[in-house]
Every structure is written in C-alpha cells, then in structure tokens.
A and B are shown apart, each in its own frame.
Chain A
Amino acid sequence: MPLIEVKNLTLGYENRTVIEDLNFSVDEGDYLCIVGENGSGKSTLMKTLLGLQKPFGGEIIFGDGLDRREIGYLPQQTIVQKDFPASVREIVLSGCQSRCGLRPFYNRDEKLLAEKNMERMGIKEFAKRCYRDLSGGQQQRVLLARALCATRKILLLDEPVSGLDPMVTAEMYELIRSLNKEGITIIMISHDISSTVCYASKVLHISRKIFFGTKEDYLKSDIGKLFIMREEDGADA
C-alpha cells in the first residue's frame, strides 16, 4: 500500500480551480519531484497534502499508519522569520510540538531528539546562535532539522534551495539525498529542473497536461523533453 495516494483530486483557492482530476501515489522510499510553471498549483497541492486547505474534490489517502501530522514540512521562509529572535535550539525543538499534544513543555526524549537532529544536520555548534544571524544555507538546515523532529517517514520540501548560492545548493541536495537513502520519503517542489532529473526517482509535472511517472519515463516523454530543453535554453541565455 502506498504511503500517500491521491485520487481524482481537484484543488484551488478562492473558488478558482487550479488543478483538476489529479492522480498519483507516493511509495515508501520515493524521491518525488513536483515541477511546473509558476501558478500551476504546486504550492496549493502541497498545502492540500498538509491539510492547510481543503480540496474541492477527490481524496487523499494516507497508508501504512501514516498520520497527516507526521509529515515533516520545510516551508519557504517568510519575512517574519528573517528578523526573528530565536536560538537554533528553540526552533528545532518546536518541531516536536505535535508530539506534545496538550502537554505544555517538552520532555527529555523530545530534547534528545532535537539534539540528535541538530547533529544530523551539522548545526549542533550553532545551537545557541540566533537564527537571523545564520547564512541562508544554515537557516535551511535548521528548518530541515525541525522538520525531521516532526517526522520519521516523510518530508515535504517547498523549494528548499531558493535563494541559495550554487555551492550551498549542491550541499543541500546532497543532504536531502542522504536523508532519502536513510529511508525517508521525499516530496519536493522544485524549480530547478536539472537537479530534479539528477536526484528524483519519480516526477509529477503539473501544467495543462499532467505527467506522473518515473524519472526515466519523464525524460522520454514529450512534456519532459520540452521542459528540459526550455530550461537548458534559459540557462544558456
């Protein structure tokens, strides 16, 4: 049984339908990239998967005992966060909030989990540093560590490399790949087609025509060829 199965999903915002009749599934250990032009509904799809908004129709089925709240989410950074006075440890620890329920304070296990994930992301030395003083790449690692506190199985990443320089971008992709190798399922929204092709195992392309399949099939498909060609032209220009 797949981890997430999406059936005949119709979604949008403010009564405007963006995507109609979407079908795809995510299996354990997958690395799914969601690509498509701006405004094609990638972020709306992600919000719907997370339960931040309701779909207009269709259903999302979570399998293998996965609870929607157990999805680790790496959102795009907001303006508020740019000058937020919070230490790295405080932010990572806040990933454990779903484990607390109504308990007001974090227990020892949760604190250990936060430490472990900071170590995993190589940010333990920054634990007491202020989030706003870190570089873009370091900030993403902090948010990734937080997402890991919230999940054991699956990460949803919303353009994790936007605004990062090429070196840091490559590091970030390696980090995500290593997490995938550890068995964490990855769903990633991406603008960056070349790295998508490099790392993904499956591709969901959203535009007027929807493609869903393995990376190999995508590279052979018309829609895939077209998109990659255009991207490469864009990169050359």
Chain B
Amino acid sequence: MLDKLIEYLQFPFVRYALIVGILIALCSSLLGVSLVLKRFSFIGDGLSHVAFGAMAIASVLKVTNQMIIIMPLTILSAVLLLRTGRNAKIRGDAAIAMISVSALALGYLLMNIFSTSSNLSGDVCSTLFGSTSMLTLTHTDVVVCSVISAIVIALFLLFYNKIFAVTFDESFATAVGTRSNRYNLLLAVIIAVIIVLAMNLVGSLLISALVIFPALSAMRVFKSFKSVTVFSAVISVICAVAGMVISILAGTPVGATIVATDAAAFLMCTIAGAFVK
C-alpha cells in the first residue's frame, strides 16, 4: 500500500493536489471557529452556492480565467449577506437561504441552457461535489493558491486579537473603539476567498464541512480560544491529508472522502470531550 502511495507521489499533479489541499484545509479551519461562534455557519454554505452560480455564468461567458468572475461575485454576496444579517426585515438565515438556492438554481439553469458539453450531469456533479479538477491543477494554480493562503494566514495572525474580541462580544468591542464592522467585513471577504479556493478541492456543496467541522471538533475538547484555533487547524490538515491519501488508494471521490474523515474526527472528539469533562 505504501509502495502504491510512493508511486503516486512521483506524479507532480498528485503532489500539487496535496499541497493545495493542505493549504485550503488550513485556511478554512482558521476562520471556522469565528464563523461557528458568531452563528454564521450557514454563510459558508450560502456563499458556496453563489460561487457555483458564478462559475456557471463564467462558463457561459466562456471566460478563460473563471476566477475573474467567481471571486468578485462571491465576495460581493458575502458583504451583502453580512449586511442583511443586521437587517430586521429579512432575517439573516432567511436571506442566506434565499440567495443560496437562487444562485444554485440559476447556475444549473444556465449550465443547462448554454452548455456545449456532452456530459452535462457529469460537469454539474463535479462542480457540486468536487472531483477530477483537483488532479488537473497546473503549476500556476498551485502558486496562486499558495499566495492567497499566505495572505489569509497573515491577515488572521495580524488581526487574531481583534477577531477574538469582535467574535466574543461585538458591542463591548465597538464601545471601546474597535471598528467591529470592519472586522466583520474582513471576515466575510476572507471566507468568500477561501470558499472560491476550496471549490476545487471538495466542490461547492461540501465546502462548509471544511469550514465548520474542524472548529466544532476542537470545541468539543479544548477550552481556550487559542487552543481551539490551533487544534482545529491541525485536525483540518490531518483530515485533509488522510482523506486525500485514502481517496488516492481506494479510488474514492476526493471531496466526499475528506468530509467523511472530518465527520469521523468530529465523532472521535465528541467522545474524547465526554471523557475530558
């Protein structure tokens, strides 16, 4: 089995996939803690559907670099969703549900009407659940992903204390002069960027698992914000690597395997947490 793995690692595209997978897992887990605690878990889900819709638009317009369309649209929706979270007329969760199903439907509709591909359901399935694209990453993709991940990690470290303060108690933070709205905006933008990146790895339907599972697992066991953040990053990377290795060896779909591993880790942490207490 190890021989088989080493044999696979000879191929550059497998190595690329592993690098990108680790980076995405790391980035998505960092913000997961804040999103879960701020009751924003669904934003990840909603945004991933928006990203799917944006991708459909990009492919209809036959844009070569789809990022140019997907990234701004997703970031825009993130900002809008965060704004409506405060608006009493349409509650935050309803707004997210509304935007996400519309984007999903619109995306599928566009792909259906304008698609030139002979294997439409295959295309849709792979954007939703992630699959082959992971193994067709080019050198440029890896570089772009690394740069963006580095920026996300740097921003997170620089604003770690502010993010904690705003997550724990927004009104106190605002009262003592922290610009809570800006940090909420920063969170929304970063999460949008991560989701667009992660779409390659696990597909748009499964992204929120990558964001929330590590945080939830860590929260079962650890008791300080720092240890929860560190552990969720560790667990996320471990699960991503394990998931990818399993999927290579067993020939299972990458995204679903990673999410299944995350779910298994959550179960283990829940059991461990029961003993800690």
Contacts and interface: CB of A to CB of B under 8 A. Distances in A.
A83 to B, nearest CB: 8
Interface string B215-251: 0001100111110100000000000000000000000
A73 B228 contact: no
Interface string A126-161: 001110010000000000001100100000000000
A80 B38 contact: yes
Contacts of A98: 176-178
B225 A75 contact: no
Given A86-B168, A100-B161, A51 B223 contact: no
Contact of A95 (B38, B158, B176, B219): B176
A98 B168 CA distance: 15
B175 interface: yes
B164 interface: yes
Given A97-B165, A98-B177, A86 B225 contact: yes
B114 interface: no
Interface string B92-131: 0000000000000000000000000000000000000000
B172 A75 contact: yes
B212 to A, nearest CB: 14
A94 B157 contact: no
A150 B161 contact: no
B89 to A, nearest CB: 11
Interface in B247-262: none
The interface centre, meaning the residue of B39, B88, B225 with most chain A CB atoms within 10 A of its CB, is B225
Chain B interface bracket (under 10, 10 to 19, 20 to 34, 35 or more):
20 to 34
A195 interface: no
Given A52-B171, A85-B219, A150-B176, A97 B225 contact: no
B175 A94 contact: no
15 contacts: A50-B174, A52-B174, A52-B175, A80-B38, A85-B225, A86-B225, A87-B224, A90-B226, A94-B165, A94-B172, A97-B173, A97-B176, A97-B177, A128-B224, A150-B176
A214 interface: no
Nearest to B38: A80
B9 interface: no
A97 B88 CA distance: 29
A105 B159 CA distance: 8
A14 to B, nearest CB: 8
B39 to A, nearest CB: 7
Nearest to B33: A85
